[in-house]
């Protein structure tokens, strides 16, 4: 059901088709080119591999992944020329790769010291974790050497990276030279202990990315990699070692972290149903990830795309104004002139949700609280900032910075707070700004609204004048709107109104496909025979000029098999129209809520639709050139093509998020009741997790064949989520399945989808999975966490007043058609 694609890493193997079932070799044995060691659980294999016969390497790879995916290489910088190489245990008790059996020239060997030990007592074993260990037969529980201590480019579950303080052993990753050359490349991912532990990505000797320090939940610069449904993290920092190990809650999941040849760190999982590796996370990925991108005493923030990403910290100003004006922030900032910050009433300003500065020159006290930390920093005039050393369990510990603050990055959520030392005058100013924030925000909204009205009137006047000058010519379409540059949208066709009128037979009722708050949709035929769908916005449409521009801009730049394709637009004589590819099967709601047509969707097809929608949403949230929050995902906005493949449509309400932005607030809540997440419907807070909530509702609708706001029982009418939850907790979840499916479905697959749907509609955003996790869970039989009880139930006294098909904009003050019960605080 999940589409097969090629692997991201493919290495052509010249292995002889010989396979051994053993997982060990002893002193008197050798492994020849063509022989294999197979771990006891058959998860990993060890043997010779290579992309050409004259360059052969001893490596470990997944035994149960179809394409050769190597996770460790022994002789990476000294390949064997030809197929005469052997792996054996030599007279010193070390593992050795010989170029051949006769000359016994060494290509690689371990470093075990065995002067007083018998070499014939040594055995090497390939474990099912992917670790290759060397031990003495009499001391099987004592490992003399292991491959996990000498990683190449891959980190596996249960494999440590970090530093052993007793021996000085540093476990770090190094990239391959190229896709087919496992030699040591130019990138290195390594932990450093100066100040407080943090991990750096190097290109040769240059730092190019930093994780930030450990917060108790994860690295401060990687908030998205905190423990989730699939992964767990184990961080150790004591007198003997500093290390991090990641685990998998479900042992059946195949996962790895790879530093690739391009210098990108990727977290990947194998998706069996699609036969490919799926990326969960990668870094670095934006300019703010580049180490010291904005210089000292500055913050890198990609959220406001219209502004320079670099901004000076409170109390600081650009060091070189001209370079800063030219958007070169590499020289950083300096303390403002004549600002006294030593024993002169100074204090601290909070910078929230940031990757804290480089901790290489910091001091840490693990037993000190945050208030004590502030006092400590305030007493030392050289202290420029402080932060909590561990934000978990209420926060503890103290980190203080002295001198420059380097490599700060802004997030919208997660990470941690940093407290910046400022002068008394700056402290007073920031305190005043904080008190006046709400008032200024309201003024800004009113001013912006007035400006928008004036602009709209000006544009309307210009359009009228243009029409009067040449009524037979088309308008300038997209370019006639402020902020739209036609040169940037050359992939969009501009249709003449006459062309659209002729194609739709003058918008005849016979060609009308549907109607909503935005206007009507018509079927049309172009002169070349192409069938199109025309979305004609009405004068009173809920989708105004801004939404129209939004939809044109967004869809023109999005390409995915599960998104509807925009062919062009028409803006002429007061008309605003979008021209799409024609979907012969119309929208999903016309099938799943229809007792006749619903029978045409068996479970296999419904699962494909659920998975296709999830893939489309994952593309919007993570894989597209933009980060898109749809804000109106529902059954009527999912179209079906000729083969019943789902296509997400209607991007008029969508929002673009910049850089690492993950959430935002709005005073204008748009969308459809029943699909809205609690935080969006009540306070206008939306994020990718708001779309996840909508997906969860839609998933349950597809399974049950019921509209989310039309279920009735004997006592009361309830939102679909509450109905499903009640049966789920009573272990009667299969009772919600659409009766039209009969018994022709896989119970375990249906139950997994119901389970995922309930995870998606959990009341708190942190509890909901991401769309990448949803896609993974859909295509893998993995253990899922138990969902929490939905705490937001939509009810209506009159069902007819709560319509499923309407997508008109709504305001937060007009929540009159519903009541909210049991909304629990945290």
User: Residues marked as binding for ATP?
Assistant: 535
Q: Which residues contact 81 (CB under 8 A, 6 or more apart)?
A: 54, 55, 56, 99
Residue 748, Cβ neighbours under 10 Å: how many?
Answer: 9
CA pseudo-torsion sign 543, 549, 550, 552 = positive
Residue 226, Cβ neighbours under 10 Å: how many?
Answer: 15
C-alpha to C-alpha distance for 555 and 551, rounded to whole angstroms? 6
Record the tokens describing residue 709, joined without a space.
């706001």
Q: DSSP labels for 682-719?
A: HH-EEEHHHHHHHHHHHHHHHHH---TT-EE-SS-EE-
C-alpha to C-alpha distance for 161 and 171, rounded to whole angstroms? 5
Q: Which of these, 201, 199, 220, lies nearest to 409 by C-alpha position? A: 220
Whether the link from the prior residue into 284 is cis, omega within 30° of 0, is yes
C-alpha to C-alpha distance for 331 and 295, rounded to whole angstroms? 5
| Residue 214 per-residue DSSP state | B
The CA distances from residue 788 to 601, 614, 749, in Å, are 30, 21, 21
Neighbour-count burial of 451, counting CB atoms closer than 10 A to its CB (0-12 exposed, 13-18 middle, 19+ buried): exposed
CA pseudo-torsion sign 329, 330, 336, 340 = positive
SS3 272: coil
Q: Which residues pair with 145 in a beta bridge?
A: 134
Contact 618, 688 (CB under 8 A): no
| Residue 64 per-residue DSSP state | S
Q: Cite the DSSP H helix spans in 315-380.
A: 321-325, 370-379
C-alpha to C-alpha distance for 629 and 261, rounded to whole angstroms? 32
Which residues are known binding-site members?
A: 535
Q: Which of these, 257, 686, 219, 620, lies nearest to 414 by C-alpha position? A: 219
- Is there a catalytic annotation at residue 77? no
Q: Which residues pair with 255 in a beta bridge?
A: 269
**Vertex 410: Cα angle to 371 and 374 (nearest 5):** 10
Record the tokens describing residue 365, joined without a space.
């006290």
Query: Within 13 Å of residue 196, how many CA atoms lie on the same side as its CB?
Result: 27
35, 407, 632, 691: which one is catalytic?
632
Q: Which of these, 570, 549, 631, lies nearest to 809 by C-alpha position? A: 631
> What are the catalytic residues?
632
């Amino acid at each position: 059901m999940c589409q097969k694609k090629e692997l991201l890493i493919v290495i052509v193997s010249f292995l002889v088709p010989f396979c051994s079932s053993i997982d060990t070799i002893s002193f008197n044995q050798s492994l020849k080119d063509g022989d294999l060691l197979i771990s006891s659980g058959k998860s990993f294999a060890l043997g010779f591999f290579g992309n050409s016969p004259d360059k052969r390497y001893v490596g470990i790879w997944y035994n149960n992944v179809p394409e050769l995916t190597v996770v460790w290489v022994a002789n990476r910088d000294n390949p064997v020329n030809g197929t005469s190489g052997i792996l054996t245990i030599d007279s010193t008790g070390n593992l050795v790769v010989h170029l051949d059996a006769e000359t016994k020239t060494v290509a690689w060997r371990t470093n075990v010291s065995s002067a007083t030990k018998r070499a014939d007592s040594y055995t090497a074993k390939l474990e099912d974790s992917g670790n290759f260990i060397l031990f003495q037969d009499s001391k099987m529980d004592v490992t003399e050497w292991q491959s996990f201590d000498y990683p190449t480019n891959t980190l596996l579950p249960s494999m440590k990276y970090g530093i052993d303080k007793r021996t000085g052993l540093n476990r770090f990753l190094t990239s391959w030279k190229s896709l087919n050359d496992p030699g040591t490349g130019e990138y290195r991912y390594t932990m450093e202990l100066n100040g407080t532990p943090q991990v750096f990505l190097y290109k040769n000797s240059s730092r190019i990315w930093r994780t930030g320090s450990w917060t108790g939940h994860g690295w401060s610069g990687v908030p998205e990699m905190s423990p989730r449904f699939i992964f767990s993290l184990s961080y150790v920092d004591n007198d003997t070692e500093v290390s991090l190990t990641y685990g998998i809650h479900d042992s059946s999941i195949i996962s790895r972290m790879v530093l690739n040849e391009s210098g990108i760190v990727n977290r990947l999982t194998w998706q069996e149903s699609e036969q490919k590796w799926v990326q969960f996370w990668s870094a670095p990925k934006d300019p703010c990830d580049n180490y010291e991108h904005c210089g000292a005493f500055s913050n890198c923030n990609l959220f406001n795309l219209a502004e320079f990403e670099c901004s000076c910290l409170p109390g600081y100003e650009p060091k070189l104004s001209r370079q800063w004006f030219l958007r070169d922030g590499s020289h950083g900032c300096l303390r403002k002139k004549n600002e006294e910050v030593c024993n002169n009433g100074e204090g601290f300003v909070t910078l929230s949700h940031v990757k804290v500065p480089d901790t290489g020159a910091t001091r840490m006290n693990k037993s000190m609280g945050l208030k004590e930390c502030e006092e400590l920093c305030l007493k030392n005039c050289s202290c420029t900032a402080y932060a909590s050393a561990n934000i978990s369990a209420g926060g503890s510990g103290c980190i203080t910075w002295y001198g420059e603050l380097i490599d700060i990055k802004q997030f919208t959520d997660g990470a941690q707070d940093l407290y910046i030392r400022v002068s008394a005058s700056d402290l007073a100013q920031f305190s005043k700004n904080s008190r006046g924030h709400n008032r200024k925000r309201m003024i800004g909204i009113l001013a912006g609204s007035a400006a928008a009205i004036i602009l709209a009137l000006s544009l309307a006047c210009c359009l009228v004048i243009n029409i009067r000058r040449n009524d037979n010519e088309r308008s300038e379409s997209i370019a006639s709107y402020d902020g739209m540059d036609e040169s940037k949208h050359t992939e969009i066709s501009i249709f003449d109104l006459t062309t659209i009128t002729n194609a739709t037979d003058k918008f005849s009722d016979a060609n009308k496909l549907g109607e909503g708050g935005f206007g009507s949709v018509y079927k049309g035929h172009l002169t070349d025979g192409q069938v199109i769908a025309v979305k004609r916005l009405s004068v009173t449409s809920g989708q105004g000029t801004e939404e129209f521009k939004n939809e044109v801009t967004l869809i023109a730049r999005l390409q995915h098999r599960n998104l509807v394709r925009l062919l062009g637009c028409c803006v002429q004589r007061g008309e605003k129209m979008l021209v799409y590819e024609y979907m012969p099967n119309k929208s999903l709601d016309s099938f799943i809520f229809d007792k006749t047509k619903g029978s045409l969707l068996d479970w296999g097809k419904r699962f494909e639709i659920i998975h296709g929608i999830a893939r489309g949403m994952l593309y919007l949230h993570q894989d597209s050139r933009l980060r898109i929050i749809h804000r109106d995902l529902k059954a009527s906005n999912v179209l079906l093509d000729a083969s019943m493949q789902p296509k997400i449509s209607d991007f008029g309400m969508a929002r673009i998020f910049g850089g690492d932005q993950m959430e935002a607030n709005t005073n204008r809540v748009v969308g459809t009741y029943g699909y809205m997440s609690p935080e969006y419907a009540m306070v206008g807070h939306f994020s990718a997790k708001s779309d996840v909530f909508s997906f969860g509702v839609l998933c349950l609708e597809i399974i049950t064949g019921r509209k989310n706001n039309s279920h009735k029982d004997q006592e009361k009418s309830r939102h679909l989520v509450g109905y499903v939850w009640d049966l789920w907790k009573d272990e009667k979840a299969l009772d919600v399945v659409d009766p039209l499916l009969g018994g022709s479905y896989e119970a375990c697959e249906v139950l997994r989808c119901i389970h995922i749907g309930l995870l998606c509609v959990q009341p708190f955003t942190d509890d909901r999975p991401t769309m990448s996790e949803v896609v993974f869970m859909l295509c893998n039989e993995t253990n899922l966490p138990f969902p929490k009880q939905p705490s937001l139930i939509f009810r209506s006294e009159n069902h007819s007043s709560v319509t499923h098909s309407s997508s008109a904009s709504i305001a937060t003050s007009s929540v009159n058609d519903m009541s909210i019960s049991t909304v629990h605080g945290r």
